[in-house]
Structure 1
Amino acid sequence: MNWLHHTFQEYPELAVFLTLAAGFFIGSLRVGKFSLGSVTGVLLMGVLVGQMDIQVSANVKSVFFLMFLFAVGYSVGPQFFRGLKKDGLPQVLFAALMCVVCLVAPWLLSLMMGYNVGQAAGLIAGSQTISAVMGVAADTINQVKLSPDQKQLLINSMPVCYAVTYIFGTAGSAWLLSSIAPMMLGGIDKVRAACKELEKTMGAGDPSRDPGMRAAFIAVTFRAYSINDTSIAAGKSVQQLEAELDGRDHRLFVERIRQADKKLTDATPEYVIKPGDEIVLSGRREFILGEEAGIGAEIIDTDLLNFPVENVMVFVINKETIGKTVKELRAMEYMHGVPVQSIRRAGISMPVYPEAVLERGDNIELVGYKRDMERAIAHIGYADIPTDKTDMIFVGLGIVLGGLVGAMSIRVGGVPLSLSTSGGALIMGLVFGWLRSRHPAFGRIPEPALWVMNNVGLNTFIAVVGITAGPSFVAGFKEVGWGLFAVGIAATAIPLLAGVLMARYIFKFHPALILGCTAGARTTTAALSAIQEEVQSNLPSLGYTITYAVGNTLLIIWGVVIVLLMT
């Protein structure tokens, strides 16, 4: 054990990776539906490993923290700036007001309990589940006129308060928004009924409005059939057959034909289907199954079905598509044979209802024959071709520019104040993410790389924080005591319940949007999942994206503000 202890002290990078591995493992363990999550798991393991008195360079956590903050801004940038437009302003204003409550409630509770600056920052970070506050607050504390030992004492007190309050901050938020909040809106049955009513106005579950667009995922299949004399297709042109099927609320497409003389050809609208022909139909699986008896016997033919079909994520950037509903897009001539399988907005899956409105920067998944896909993509925007390469010029330049902006300071009462390099990286991430949505030909960060920047970036920072604070963690916990847990419950509950009341009585949002907006402003994705499960609808996600973008930005910046308020 002495050898192991000495090795970790000599090679602290090994201690960091041990903390990450063990922390992710602990964070993944579940008791019922509850788990600590990777961040809390890594922090606790960092504290444990830190008992070996391991010294890790502060530059390590700075590098990974900047990477994390840039990735956060990059992810939410499009929605942040879209929210500044007229139609998004109510949600932006709501999110801003709720974030103010998220700051004021922990601040007043900290004053009442006599907490120091570090403890107050830890309380905000844990109760509002915004781990990045610790990094931004630490940067700001380092600018205050205190001795190095005093600064380190304050910084080391943050993870203690964070760890104690984070548990209810996560699990409690999901419980409050999925169970208590619906009661404040008239009861869960009333909220569910309101969701179903809104879904109907958006065309969900109503085949007469737009068949096959009820669900967020459309299971598209390609199947081959042999046409005989009794087939409904015999003697009809491709255009006539598709129109007849569409009239039955069965949107199917004829993609390919093998004529009776064995000649293979792509389907054309005017081609007349004859007995003996073999055709390929595409569409929703249940629609094709419903028409099998009338079309003919299904056949398995590798040559007939062997043609290029693509699943492509497409950025919505063309003006002719922005603002269209899914139903309007689907009716366009260029969308023939190309269903919309899914929509993602700021990384969140959105319900694909006929009346759902497409916004700039949305990522929509199309599936279809290569020829049809190229035509549709040309009208919609830019194909996000899968790649494993990250535009590191874009990422590196963004972090550098953000850091330079954040390093600039102004003097208030003789005290130099700045956004800090971390705040600058966040702001520049917002700008660069918005630029990417406007000009997606550059600035590509694949989702796996973005995951690494977000999760490994944040958790490496947390690991170093835990290791550094390890020796003083126990003493700090004795100082704040278990009373902090009760304070954390209040700091979590007050903003959430206040948000529900503001959304209902001041902004008069729809009940589904109230829950989604409140979860978004508090950046609690776990609560969004719990809400959607409880109300049995995906509609809350419509209120989540803009408020999440605003909340993720302001709550991180509160790391600077809480230090200023407490000093």
Structure 2
Amino acid sequence: MSWFIATLKAYPEIAIFLALGIGYWIGGKSFKGFSLGAVTSTLLAAIVIGTLGVSISTNVKAVFFLMFLFAVGYSVGPQFVRGIARDGMPQVIFAAVSCLLSLASVTGTAMIAGYDLGSAAGLFAGSQTISASMGLATDAINRLGLPPDETGKLLEGMPIAYAVTYIFGTVGSALILAQIGPKLLGIDLVAACKDYERELGAGEAVEGSTDWHEFELRAYVLAADSPFIGKSVADLEAHTAQGHRAFIERIRREGRIIESDPVLRLAPGDIVAIGGKRNDLIERLGPSSREVEDAELLDVKVEGVDIYITNKEVDGRSLKDLAVWPGARGVFLKHIKRGPTETAIPILPKTKLYRGDVITVVGRSQDINASARQLGYIDRPTKTTDVASMSLAIVAGAMIGASVLKIRGIPLTISTAGGSLIAGLMFGWLRAVRPTFGRIPEPTVWFMSSVGLNVFIAVVGISAGPGFVAGLQKLGASLLLWGIFATSMPLVVGMLLAKFVFRFHPAILLGCCAGARATTAALGMICEAAGSQVPGLGYTVTYAVGNTLLTISGMLVIMILS
């Protein structure tokens, strides 16, 4: 054991990976649906390692924290900018108000309880489940110009308060929103979601129907008495029974296979390969049409791909409107994902698409390519990251953040961390509207955000290890109770404001509250209680704004209390 401890002290980089390994392993375990998560588990593991006397340079956590914040901004950029610029403004304002409630509850609690700056910052991060705020709070404490030993004590108190309050911050937020919220507000969540789905066109027979898995590709001989003899392919496809879609993909004529063309006219004896519901096809082609086996004709290359929405003409349009676009021919929608948490959006006729959304479509390669040209571009899997653009963006943001503006002798700055976050927001938004540069694959974004944050947390925990036990003994029980208050108060007030002031629809109200607090665990529980993905419609904009403002608020806590 002495050799092991000596090795960690001599090579502290090993200690970081040890904390990560233990943290991710424990964080991946769950008990009856509850998990500590990688961040809290890494922190606790790092604190234990820190008691061994391991010392790590603070530059390590600074590098990884900049990487983390840039990834956060990059992920939420499109939703953040859209929410501010368009019809998401009520949700943007609500997220800002929710952030102020969180800030007020924590600063008020810290003043009443007499906590120092470090403990207050940790209380904010844990009770509001916003781990990233500790990074900006650390920068703010370091800029106060306090003696090194006093600064060290403040920084040691931060992870203690975070660890004590985070568990209820996570579990309590989910329970309050998903279980207590509907009863407090008098909402029948299941019925509210069904009503909202009907408003979005659920059950409405429209040409935008998207049950792609119900569609088949079959071959039929065109009957001699078919009303479509002499008509074009476009005529047959336009003659669509209300609520259904079908497309001719290929035609066999006199033994030759012809690729479908909208202007091609049909002739008796043509064998058409058509995609659609079998009963509808028979009705459409006439009762005398006969299905045949033609493996060669039906050998159509079909694929499923993700399309990244970038076209401003698509932004804000409903699926019902987009279904009649020429680019919608031959493709069927499978999934809609929105935001950094890839929130599943219900596929209904009046569901709107926005720039930055990722949709999964199925169809022939040529049809998908045509659709992508109108919607955005095909987001095919790739391992390549535009490291040059990413790094220069971080440099630009950090340089701006490093600038200090003095007003009456008071230094004001957003710090390099805040600058990186803003750079990520702008970079992510530019990527959504100009996708020719700045490619960061989803696995890379995950690595930057998850591992970047956890390396930062590991260094914080290792540094705080020596004083953790003493601090916990001093603050433990009372801190836990104050944490419960700081978590619950802004949530309850926020839900009441969402209903009676902002008047959000009951189906998305709780999703808005979960997004404003950036708690994905709560959204999952809300959707499970609702039996619907509709609450996710209120989550994406408020998450983008709330996650950004709550992160910055770590610095504001220090500025207010100091």
Question: Residue 435 of structure 2 corresponds to which residue in structure 1?
Answer: 440
Q: 1:223 and 1:499, CA in 2 relative to 1: closer, same or farther beyond 3 A?
A: same
What do the CA deviations read for 1:236-270 (whole angstroms, capped 9, x no partner)? 964565455x31633222212344x4422223344
Give the Cα–Cα distance (whole angstroms) in 2 for the partners of residues 372 and 481 of structure 1: 62
Question: Residue 324 of structure 2 corresponds to which residue in structure 1?
Answer: 331
Alignment partner of 1:461: what SS? Answer: helix
- The reply to whether residue 263 of structure 1 matches residue 256 of structure 2 is yes
Superposed displacement of residue 298, structure 1: 7.1
Q: 1:195 and 1:414, CA in 2 relative to 1: closer, same or farther beyond 3 A?
A: same
- The reply to whether residue 65 of structure 1 matches residue 65 of structure 2 is yes
Give the Cα–Cα distance (whole angstroms) in 2 for the partners of residues 54 and 319 of structure 1: 53
Question: Residue 248 of structure 2 corresponds to which residue in structure 1?
Answer: 254
Give the Cα–Cα distance (whole angstroms) in 1 for the partners of residues 543 and 122 of structure 2: 21
Bigger shift: residues 133-142 or 535-544: 535-544
Structure 1 gap ranges (5+): none
Question: Residue 525 of structure 2 corresponds to which residue in structure 1?
Answer: 530
Question: Residue 117 of structure 1 corresponds to which residue in structure 2?
Answer: 117
- The reply to whether residue 399 of structure 1 matches residue 366 of structure 2 is no
In the alignment, residue 538 of structure 1 is paired with which amino acid?
Q
Alignment partner of 1:54: what SS? Answer: coil
Structure 2 gap ranges (5+): none
In the alignment, residue 204 of structure 1 is paired with which amino acid?
A
Match of 1:384 among 372, 379, 383: 379
Question: Residue 360 of structure 2 corresponds to which residue in structure 1?
Answer: 365
Q: Is the 8 A contact 2:42 2:458 kept in 1?
A: yes
Bigger shift: residues 350-359 or 447-456: 350-359
Question: Residue 175 of structure 1 corresponds to which residue in structure 2?
Answer: 175
Give the Cα–Cα distance (whole angstroms) in 2 for the partners of residues 494 and 334 of structure 1: 49
Question: Residue 320 of structure 1 corresponds to which residue in structure 2?
Answer: 313
What do the CA deviations read for 1:488-512 (whole angstroms, capped 9, x no partner)? 1111111111111111111111112
Give the Cα–Cα distance (whole angstroms) in 2 for the partners of residues 192 and 544 of structure 1: 17
Q: 1:477 and 1:335, CA in 2 relative to 1: closer, same or farther beyond 3 A?
A: same
Q: 1:471 and 1:413, CA in 2 relative to 1: closer, same or farther beyond 3 A?
A: farther
Give the Cα–Cα distance (whole angstroms) in 1 for the partners of residues 19 and 430 of structure 2: 36
Give the Cα–Cα distance (whole angstroms) in 2 for the partners of residues 177 and 45 of structure 1: 30
Question: Residue 350 of structure 1 corresponds to which residue in structure 2?
Answer: 345
Alignment partner of 1:365: what SS? Answer: strand
Question: Residue 212 of structure 1 corresponds to which residue in structure 2?
Answer: 209
Superposed displacement of residue 180, structure 1: 0.9
Match of 1:492 among 474, 487, 490: 487
- The reply to whether residue 225 of structure 1 matches residue 223 of structure 2 is no
Superposed displacement of residue 205, structure 1: 2.6
Superposed displacement of residue 449, structure 1: 0.5
Give the Cα–Cα distance (whole angstroms) in 2 for the partners of residues 34 and 231 of structure 1: 65
Q: 1:228 and 1:329, CA in 2 relative to 1: closer, same or farther beyond 3 A?
A: closer
In the alignment, residue 369 of structure 2 is paired with which amino acid?
E
In the alignment, residue 316 of structure 1 is paired with which amino acid?
I
- The reply to whether residue 185 of structure 1 matches residue 185 of structure 2 is yes
Q: 1:368 and 1:12, CA in 2 relative to 1: closer, same or farther beyond 3 A?
A: same
Give the Cα–Cα distance (whole angstroms) in 1 for the partners of residues 469 and 45 of structure 2: 13
Give the Cα–Cα distance (whole angstroms) in 1 for the partners of residues 89 and 22 of structure 2: 43
- The reply to whether residue 547 of structure 1 matches residue 552 of structure 2 is no
Bigger shift: residues 290-299 or 65-74: 290-299
Give the Cα–Cα distance (whole angstroms) in 2 for the partners of residues 233 and 487 of structure 1: 76
Superposed displacement of residue 85, structure 1: 2.2
* TM-score normalised by L of structure 1: 0.92
Q: 1:292 and 1:48, CA in 2 relative to 1: closer, same or farther beyond 3 A?
A: farther
RMSD of Structure 2 on Structure 1 (CA)? 2.4
Q: Is the 8 A contact 2:512 2:539 kept in 1?
A: yes
Question: Residue 341 of structure 1 corresponds to which residue in structure 2?
Answer: 334
Give the Cα–Cα distance (whole angstroms) in 1 for the partners of residues 437 and 519 of structure 2: 30
Q: Is the 8 A contact 2:207 2:245 kept in 1?
A: no
In the alignment, residue 132 of structure 2 is paired with which amino acid?
A
Alignment partner of 2:353: what SS? Answer: coil
Alignment partner of 1:83: what SS? Answer: helix
Match of 1:455 among 444, 450, 463: 450
Superposed displacement of residue 235, structure 1: 6.1
Question: Residue 100 of structure 1 corresponds to which residue in structure 2?
Answer: 100
Q: Is the 8 A contact 1:203 1:210 kept in 2?
A: no
What do the CA deviations read for 1:255-311 (whole angstroms, capped 9, x no partner)? 12344x442222334443755x6543335xxx348768987557483x444443343
Give the Cα–Cα distance (whole angstroms) in 2 for the partners of residues 292 and 479 of structure 1: 78
Q: Is the 8 A contact 2:311 2:433 kept in 1?
A: no
Give the Cα–Cα distance (whole angstroms) in 2 for the partners of residues 59 and 273 of structure 1: 75
Bigger shift: residues 44-53 or 92-101: 44-53
Question: Residue 266 of structure 2 corresponds to which residue in structure 1?
Answer: 272
Q: 1:51 and 1:323, CA in 2 relative to 1: closer, same or farther beyond 3 A?
A: same
Alignment partner of 2:336: what SS? Answer: strand
What do the CA deviations read for 1:358-386 (whole angstroms, capped 9, x no partner)? 22332223322222222222222333333
Give the Cα–Cα distance (whole angstroms) in 1 for the partners of residues 225 and 491 of structure 2: 60
Superposed displacement of residue 179, structure 1: 0.8
What do the CA deviations read for 1:412-444 (whole angstroms, capped 9, x no partner)? 553433111111111111111111112111111
Q: Is the 8 A contact 2:206 2:244 kept in 1?
A: no
Matches within 5 A, 1:14-25: 14-25=14-25
Superposed displacement of residue 320, structure 1: 2.9
Q: 1:8 and 1:279, CA in 2 relative to 1: closer, same or farther beyond 3 A?
A: farther
Give the Cα–Cα distance (whole angstroms) in 1 for the partners of residues 19 and 229 of structure 2: 70
In the alignment, residue 334 of structure 1 is paired with which amino acid?
G
Question: Residue 203 of structure 1 corresponds to which residue in structure 2?
Answer: 201
Match of 1:427 among 397, 400, 422: 422
In the alignment, residue 250 of structure 2 is paired with which amino acid?
R
Give the Cα–Cα distance (whole angstroms) in 2 for the partners of residues 271 and 203 of structure 1: 35
In the alignment, residue 413 of structure 2 is paired with which amino acid?
S
In the alignment, residue 329 of structure 1 is paired with which amino acid?
L
Alignment partner of 1:52: what SS? Answer: coil
In the alignment, residue 314 of structure 2 is paired with which amino acid?
T
Superposed displacement of residue 210, structure 1: 4.1
In the alignment, residue 442 of structure 2 is paired with which amino acid?
E
Superposed displacement of residue 225, structure 1: 3.5
Give the Cα–Cα distance (whole angstroms) in 2 for the partners of residues 68 and 81 of structure 1: 20
Give the Cα–Cα distance (whole angstroms) in 1 for the partners of residues 462 and 115 of structure 2: 23
Q: 1:460 and 1:256, CA in 2 relative to 1: closer, same or farther beyond 3 A?
A: same
Question: Residue 508 of structure 1 corresponds to which residue in structure 2?
Answer: 503
Question: Residue 473 of structure 1 corresponds to which residue in structure 2?
Answer: 468
Identity %: 45
Q: Is the 8 A contact 1:224 1:304 kept in 2?
A: no
